[in-house]
Amino acid sequence: MSQFPYPGPPPNDAQRHAWARRDIKDLQRRPPPNPRYEIKLVSDTLAVAVLDGVFKWTLPVDFDQLRLWYVLTYITTLGAGAVTVEVENVTQGKQFLSTPVTISAGQYDSDASGATWVIDNTVRAVALDRVWINVTAASGMGLGIVLQFGL
């Protein structure tokens, strides 16, 4: 009986090395097709406050030359006013959004609020750029954001 998990004679050294090289190549990092990040900015038990850099993030190497495709913000407890969020590339000194994301008063997320946000397609993500999520108008409790990138 063979000690190997497959039928046939055991592999020779050249075959073992070929498998090892293939395995190493398979471990190389590949960018995800459309990386999507769901980030909780403020705990559900805390009030949302106006703050620059409520979340600070360094873009991974895989994100080089990607664009921001989609943004969604949400709150868990309604407040009296609107919530406005900006996504800023601090390294480049540019906003990913030419019009910030707004959650209208009485709504739980930016898609339902009907407020239009506009992505600036000229801003590309560059590997290791610093990105800040800034809250410029605050209301309610518990804030989160969904960011999706693509080519």
Q: Does a structural domain hold residue 145? A: yes
3-state secondary structure of 82: coil
Residue 49 within any structural domain of the chain: yes
Domain annotation covers residue 86: yes
pLDDT in tens, 65-115: 788 888 999 999 998 999 999 999 999 899 988 889 999 998 999 888 777
150 or 33, which is more confident:
150
90 is a domain residue: yes
Token pair of 5, please? 């998990």
pLDDT grade for 127, boundaries at 50, 70 and 90: confident
Domain with residue 70: its CATH number is 2.60.120.340
Looking at the structure of the chain, the number of domains it has is 1
Amino acid at 144: G
H or E element at residue 13: helix 13-26
**How far is 104 from 45, CA to CA, in rounded Å?**
20
CA torsion sign, 64 to 68 to 70 to 73? Answer: positive
